[in-house]
Each structure stands twice: as C-alpha cells, then as structure tokens.
C-alpha cells in the first residue's frame, strides 16, 4: 500500500475516532508500518480530528524522523510493540471507559477484562495491564517487551489503551471493541454478570483460530 493511501487512512480513521469522542483534545496517536520497514505516525500535540496527511511524521526503519512534523512522544511504546509483534498498525487512545478500567483495584494485569463477549475475544484476545509510567517514558517500552508479544491489546494504567493489528482498520476495530467491552464491564460491575464459560471460550478459539494467553480470569 502506498504512503499516500496510508496517510489518508490515518487521517480518516483519526477523524472518525475523534469525532465520536474516543480520544479528546490532542490525545492519542496512530502509527502504520510502511513497505520499506519505516513507519508513519501522528505528530506530537496533534488532534486526531484535524490531521494533515502531508505533515504526518515519517520515520525510517531506525525509528528516526525522515520527514514531516516532530512525532508523538510515545515512539518508545509503538517501537516496542512493533519489535515484539508482527503488527502493521498501532492505535493508542485516551478513551474514557478503558482509562477508567485501568484505574480499578481489582483488575488482573494478565487479563484486564473477563471473557464477556465473543467479539471481544475475537478482536482483542486478552488485554494486559502494565503499570503507570509517565507519558513518553522509555521504561514503558521495557514493560511492553516484558509481555513477550503475547498481547495485541494493552492497557496503560491511569493512561489509556493501545492496540496493534494486522492493518490500521483491524487495529481501529479492535480498539473500538475494547472500549465498548470496558464500558460493559463498568455498567455490570458488582452485578455478578454471566461471562463466557471455558468450553465456550475453547469453542471460539477453535472456530476462529484464536491464540489466547493461558492466564487470566477463571469464570465458569
């Protein structure tokens, strides 16, 4: 896919996410791998609602800026995910319900959400929770590497979700599913809802060839 098409897609999806209130102000960032091993990423202090295709940051395979505006401060986060997963795109937002979820005391860092719906498991798998780091702190990269590429969706404590995908569309769709599932969890918190049973999870994994980490919530 050409750089021009990737630039247009980043701006189109960014605008959609912003206009639906999924990341406020100049928060959030998007990156996409290019054919030459470099990547396109949204600039620092840029609103996803008003991105300019020509001003997106173009990085080389060495993660250094080649052209465009200065990139997001979250470069270490994106780079660590690309290192550990065969992803083609990454979306990081400050979406309200996912941020709220990341602050709850009962959250299992190995599975931040229980198996609530089939589409959550199909699009997100399990979601890891990593401890709080200052935005842009290179230490977050070590935390991501510590997950050993097992998770495509991650919550940054007190900060927001980050999701990788085989395409930008897939990453955006998974991010939307994660946010909606976090919303469901908050709506149902304390009501003893019925989650998917282990046999139902196994059936989904077999039918859709899901690779789910072994650990996590154990809900019968």
Establish if 60 belongs to a structural domain. yes
Establish if 214 belongs to a structural domain. no
Establish if 68 belongs to a structural domain. yes
Q: Supply the pTM of this predicted model.
A: 0.94
- 89 forms bridges with which residues in the sheet? 32, 165
Tell me the pLDDT band of 214, cut-offs 50, 70 and 90: low
Here the CATH number for the domain that contains residue 165 is 3.40.225.10
Q: What pLDDT was estimated at residue 212?
A: 87
What percentage of residues in the chain have a pLDDT greater than 70?
96
Query: Which ranges in the chain belong to alpha helices (H)?
Result: 3-19, 75-84, 96-102, 118-124, 139-145, 168-188, 198-208
Active site residue ranges: 119
Residues in Cβ contact with 139 at an 8 Å cutoff, skipping those fewer than 6 apart: 133
pLDDT, tens digit, for every residue of 102-134?
A: 999 999 999 999 999 999 999 999 999 999 999
Establish if 44 belongs to a structural domain. yes
Gap between the Cα atoms of 214 and 170, Å rounded: 23
Question: Domain containing 73: what range?
Answer: 3-208
Domain count across the chain: 1
Tell me the pLDDT band of 213, cut-offs 50, 70 and 90: confident
Establish if 215 belongs to a structural domain. no
Gap between the Cα atoms of 114 and 185, Å rounded: 8
Gap between the Cα atoms of 67 and 145, Å rounded: 27
Q: Please say if the pLDDT value at position 56 is more than 50.
A: yes
């Amino acid at each position: 896919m050409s750089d021009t098409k990737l630039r247009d897609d980043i701006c189109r999806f960014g605008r959609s996410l912003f206009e639906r209130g999924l990341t406020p102000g100049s928060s959030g960032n998007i990156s996409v791998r290019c054919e030459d091993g470099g990547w396109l990423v949204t600039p620092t202090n840029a609103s996803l609602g008003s991105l300019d295709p020509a001003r997106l940051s173009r990085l080389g395979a060495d993660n250094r800026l080649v052209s465009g505006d200065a990139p997001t401060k979250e470069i270490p986060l994106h780079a660590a995910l690309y290192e550990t997963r065969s992803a083609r795109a990454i979306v990081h937002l400050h979406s309200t319900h996912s941020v709220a979820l990341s602050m709850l005391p009962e959250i299992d860092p190995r599975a931040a959400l229980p198996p609530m719906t089939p589409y959550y498991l199909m699009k997100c798998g399990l979601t890891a929770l990593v401890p709080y780091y200052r935005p842009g702190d290179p230490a977050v990269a070590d935390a991501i590497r510590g997950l050993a590429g097992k998770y495509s969706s991650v919550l940054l404590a007190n900060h927001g979700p980050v999701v990788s995908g085989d395409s930008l569309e897939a990453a955006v769709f998974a991010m939307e599913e994660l946010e909606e599932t976090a919303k469901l969890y908050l709506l149902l918190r304390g009501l003893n809802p019925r989650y998917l049973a282990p046999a139902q999870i196994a059936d989904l994994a077999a039918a859709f060839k899901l690779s789910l980490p072994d650990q996590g919530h154990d809900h019968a």
